Amino acid sequence: MERLQKVIANSGIASRRKAEELILAGKVRVNGEVVLELGTKVSDTAKIEVNGELISKEDKVYYILNKPRGVITSTKDEHDRKTVVDLIEEDKRIYPVGRLDYDTTGLIILTNDGELANRLMHPKNEIDKVYIAKIKGILNPKELMTLKNGVIIDGVKTSRSRVKTRKFDKQTDTSIVEIVIHEGKNHQVKKMFEAVNHEVLKLKRERVAFLDLTGLKSGEYRKLNPKEVATLYGLTANQNKKNK
Ligand code: URA
């Protein structure tokens, strides 16, 4: 049994919020009866009509995109800027899993599978997100340790991360640092480096779990294959157990 608004949203005809509006407006029938109650549980076999049209379950699609700079991670933008969804030719209503800043490049997953999206974003599942940051200055051992152990950003301590300096350039006083985190707080990597007084000059996400950008130039994307999707489900299967 699933909540009615979730089933409607999963069918791809509306967002969860829009589905709630449709229910409250009396536009939704379940097995012929108008349902006005949000959160009503419906079975797999229920006949659901929205505005008199029967809804059907939508096939799930999964993509990875190598996000270029200057594109926003959203489904639409009030200022009409290009979004990651605009870059992918797909008729189904897909959305990005997590967020990369406007000026951050690299790997982002897009799907219409809300279940997998939630699992991937849940920090308890400890999905690796690997970022390469070009920063101002060179991290000293104490700063490295501080970053690894977690820093306070927006009043909350980040969980442990893996950090290593890949290279540094004394002349330009910059370094290339790899940082692996499991969370997705707003501007997390930039704020973590800020907390140890290093500005992030460039940021790229190189890998999420086992997925990397091999073969994808900036702006290019590909579908995940069924084995990759199954592996992502497998990696996040402990969510409920771990949450208890
Ligand atoms: N951390 C950031 O600061 N920005 C991103 O885009 C992703 C992670």
pLDDT (average), residues 131-142: 98
Who has greater pLDDT, 115 or 148? 148
Q: DSSP states of 80-122 as a string? A: ---BTGGGS--SS--EESS---TT-EEEEEEES-HHHHHHHH-
Residue listed under structure tokens 């294959």:
225
161 lines ligand 1 (CB under 6 A): no
104 lines ligand 1 (CB under 6 A): yes
CB within 8 Å of 46: residues ≥ 6 apart: 7, 30, 31
Determine the topology of domain 128-208 in CATH: Alpha-Beta Plaits (3.30.70)
Ligand 1 neighbourhood includes 101 CB (under 6 angstroms)? yes
What pLDDT, on the 0 to 100 scale, is given for residue 42?
Answer: 92
Q: With pLDDT > 90 as the criterion, what percentage of the chain qualifies?
A: 80
CATH classification code of 62-123+214-243? 3.30.70.580
Could you list the active site residues? 101
The CA 189 to ligand 1 mean position distance, Å, reads 5
> What residue's CA is closest to ligand 1, atom 3?
187
Instruction: Report the separation in Å between the CA atom of 105 and the middle of ligand 1, taken as the mean of its atom positions.
Output: 9
Average pLDDT along the chain? 93
**42-46, 89-93, 220-224: least confidently modelled range:** 42-46
Say what the pLDDT of residue 240 is: 44
Does pLDDT of 90 surpass 90? yes
User: Per residue in 63-79, pLDDT tens?
Assistant: 999 999 999 999 888 88
Res 128: pLDDT: 96
128-208 has the same fold as 2-54: no
Tell me the CATH number for domain 2-54.
3.10.290.10
